[in-house]
Each structure stands twice: as structure tokens, then as C-alpha cells.
């Protein structure tokens, strides 16, 4: 296997840091980005010129373009574009303010879009590449108090699903990594924003806090081998659950969804009307 060149957002901590170090330790080269350059600069002390630390705020379009161009110029190519930068927002749909939701989507969704759009011309020109997006099990199923975070990841998932079809003719692969709960810094104050609570939801808030506190968390250091195997695969999957908790939850959710769609199928079909050709509204 030849060495790969990675461009990783959110490489200062959590999965971004774990996977950046794993790629470097096996001999790959990495453009490691973070909001604060100091948070990734120390990687150079360990890995020398195989790492390019870059300051990057994914909400800044100009800086995204500059960082992607700098990485490509420095290494001469990009094989894996890993979008990991993001954070969570806790609160019910009623509690979360519009400004908080806009800020969430600026990073989790639009930040990823900016990186993809900046990288694609280089990947198309070289006729290869792998766009990898870090989603979540909550990009497949939603739970109370995290509905807006899930919304950002559901949009994230839809974008990557369409992207995979659009760029396949150019030799570009797309994969969504969907981790469950892990003992990373994602639960820290830097990675979680909490909306002011409303009294009617106090019981739900306490219930969800207890549920999360009792939740089994995976070991982040157990993930690199699986993620590297996906990246190295000749035909990588569009969706890949990181950890053992995602698939059982997806089975349960889709079983319920399919059952409900089937229950209402006759009424759905009655709304089809007479088939015609022409403009389609979806």
C-alpha cells in the first residue's frame, strides 16, 4: 500500500487527532488543521515534515480555500479529505435559539461543504481521492434534546449521499463514518453548546442526562484500524458504523419506519393520482 496524503479538519482533539496520529504513525502524510495553530503544531515535533499544521476555521470560506490550496501545494496531491470539525448542541426544539442553530450549521454542515468544494477541483484533476465525513449514529436516528444536532448530521448525510453519485465518474470515493458514543473530548465545553432550559422540559432534561451518564462509551484508540481499513478499501462503503452500537439502533429505527410506511401505504398510494410525464415536485 502506497502512502496517502490526508487533509483533516478538527485535528486538535477527539477522533480528528486520533486518526491523524494513526495515519502519521503508519507513514502517511497529513495536513492537520485546527482553529488554533498551536493545537496541532506539536505534531511537527513528533512527525517532522510528514505533517503540515494549518490554522483553519471552517466557517471562513477564504481561509478554507487557502488551507486546501496550501496543503495541495505542499504535498502535491490529496488522497483523503477527512471532515471532522464539528460540535453538538443540546436542547429541545423549543429551547434552541435561531442564532445557535445557524452557528451549528455554519460549522457542521456549511463548514464541511466549504472544504469539499475547495478540494474537489484537485481531486477531479488527479482522477482519484476519498472524501470522508464524520457523521454520527444520530445522523441515522434522532433522540430528544439533540434534535438540532441530528438535523445538522441528517443534512450532512444527504449531502454526502448525493455527492457520492456526482463524483463517482471522476474516480472519487465518498464515505460517511457514523460513530456511536465514545470517550472523546466531544462531551467537553469546547465541543458542546447547551441551550437555556425551559421549566416544562426539566423532567425530560433530567431523564436524558441520566440516560447519557449510563451510556457505554467506546474507546477512541480502538477505532484507527477500522477507519484505516475503510480508507484503504478498493470499494469503500458509503456508510460505516464506527463501533457496535449503531447497527442495532438502525435496525430498530428502520423496522419501525418501514412498518409505519406499510401501515399507511394504501392511503399514500391513493394520493398518486393519474400518472403523467413532465415536471416532478419532490
Q: Give me the pLDDT at residue 282, please.
A: 64
Which of these, 240, 22, 31, 280, lies nearest to 137 by C-alpha position? 240
Grade residue 82 by pLDDT with cuts at 50, 70 and 90.
very high
Determine which one of 88, 122, 150, 153 is catalytic: 153
**3-class DSSP state for residue 120?**
helix
Please tell me the least confidently modeled range out of 124-128, 191-195, 213-217, 244-248: 213-217
Q: Cα–Cα distance between 45 and 57 in angstroms, integer? A: 23
- Whether the per-residue pLDDT at 97 is higher than 90: the answer is yes
Grade residue 219 by pLDDT with cuts at 50, 70 and 90.
very high
Domain that holds residue 209: 5-246
Q: Give me the pLDDT at residue 189, please.
A: 57
Annotated catalytic residue 158:
no
Determine which one of 4, 88, 122, 135 is catalytic: 135
What stretches of the chain adopt beta strand conformation (E)? Answer: 5-8, 29-34, 51-55, 80-83, 88-90, 129-134, 172-179, 192-194, 239-242
The reply to whether 164 falls in a domain is: yes
Annotated catalytic residue 201:
no
Grade residue 10 by pLDDT with cuts at 50, 70 and 90.
very high
CATH of the domain at 137: 3.40.50.720
Grade residue 51 by pLDDT with cuts at 50, 70 and 90.
very high
The reply to whether 268 falls in a domain is: no
Annotated catalytic residue 168:
no
- Whether the per-residue pLDDT at 278 is higher than 80: the answer is no
- Whether the per-residue pLDDT at 270 is higher than 80: the answer is yes
Q: Give the total number of structural domains in the chain.
A: 1
Determine which one of 88, 122, 136, 149 is catalytic: 149
**3-class DSSP state for residue 85?**
coil
Which of these, 45, 149, 44, 158, lies nearest to 107 by C-alpha position? 149
The reply to whether 118 falls in a domain is: yes
The reply to whether 168 falls in a domain is: yes
- Whether the per-residue pLDDT at 78 is higher than 70: the answer is yes
The reply to whether 58 falls in a domain is: yes
Total residues found in the chain within this entry:
282
Grade residue 42 by pLDDT with cuts at 50, 70 and 90.
very high
pTM of the predicted structure, to 2 decimals: 0.93
> What are the two backbone dihedrals, phi and then psi, of residue 213, each rounded to the nearest 5 degrees?
-65, -30
For 117-134, the pLDDT digits (tens) are 999 999 999 999 999 999
The reply to whether 251 falls in a domain is: no
Q: Give me the pLDDT at residue 218, please.
A: 86
Amino acid at each position: 500500500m502506497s502512502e496517502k496524503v490526508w487533509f483533516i479538519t478538527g485535528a486538535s482533539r477527539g477522533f480528528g487527532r486520533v486518526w491523524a496520529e494513526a495515519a502519521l504513525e503508519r507513514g502517511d502524510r497529513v495536513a492537520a488543521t485546527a482553529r488554533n495553530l498551536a493545537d496541532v503544531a506539536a505534531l511537527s515535533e513528533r512527525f517532522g515534515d510528514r505533517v503540515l499544521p494549518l490554522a483553519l476555521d471552517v466557517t471562513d470560506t477564504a481561509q478554507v480555500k487557502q488551507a486546501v490550496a496550501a496543503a495541495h501545494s505542499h504535498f502535491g496531491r490529496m488522497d483523503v479529505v477527512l471532515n471532522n470539525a464539528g460540535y453538538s448542541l443540546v436542547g429541545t426544539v423549543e429551547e434552541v435559539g435561531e442564532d445557535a442553530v445557524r452557528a451549528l450549521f455554519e460549522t457542521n454542515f456549511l463548514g464541511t461543504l466549504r472544504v469539499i468544494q475547495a478540494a474537489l477541483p484537485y481531486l477531479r484533476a488527479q482522477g482519484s481521492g476519498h472524501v470522508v465525513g464524520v457523521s454520527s449514529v444520530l445522523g441515522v436516528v434522532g433522540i430528544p434534546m439533540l434534535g438540532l444536532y441530528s438535523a445538522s448530521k441528517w443534512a450532512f448525510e444527504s449531502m454526502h449521499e448525493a455527492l457520492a453519485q456526482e463524483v463517482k465518474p471522476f474516480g472519487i470515493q465518498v464515505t460517511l463514518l457514523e460513530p456511536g458514543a465514545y470517550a472523546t473530548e466531544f462531551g467537553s465545553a469546547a465541543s458542546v453548546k447547551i441551550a437555556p432550559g425551559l421549566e416544562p422540559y426539566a423532567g425530560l432534561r433530567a431523564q436524558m442526562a441520566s440516560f447519557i451518564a449510563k451510556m457505554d462509551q467506546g474507546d477512541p484508540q480502538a477505532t484507527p484500524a477500522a477507519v484505516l481499513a475503510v480508507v484503504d478499501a478498493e470499494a469503500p462503503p458509503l456508510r460505516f458504523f464506527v463501533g457496535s452500537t449503531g447497527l442495532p439502533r438502525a435496525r430498530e429505527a428502520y423496522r419501525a419506519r418501514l412498518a409505519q410506511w406499510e401501515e399507511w401505504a394504501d392511503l399514500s398510494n391513493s394520493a398518486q393520482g393519474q400518472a403523467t410525464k413532465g415536471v416532478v415536485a419532490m
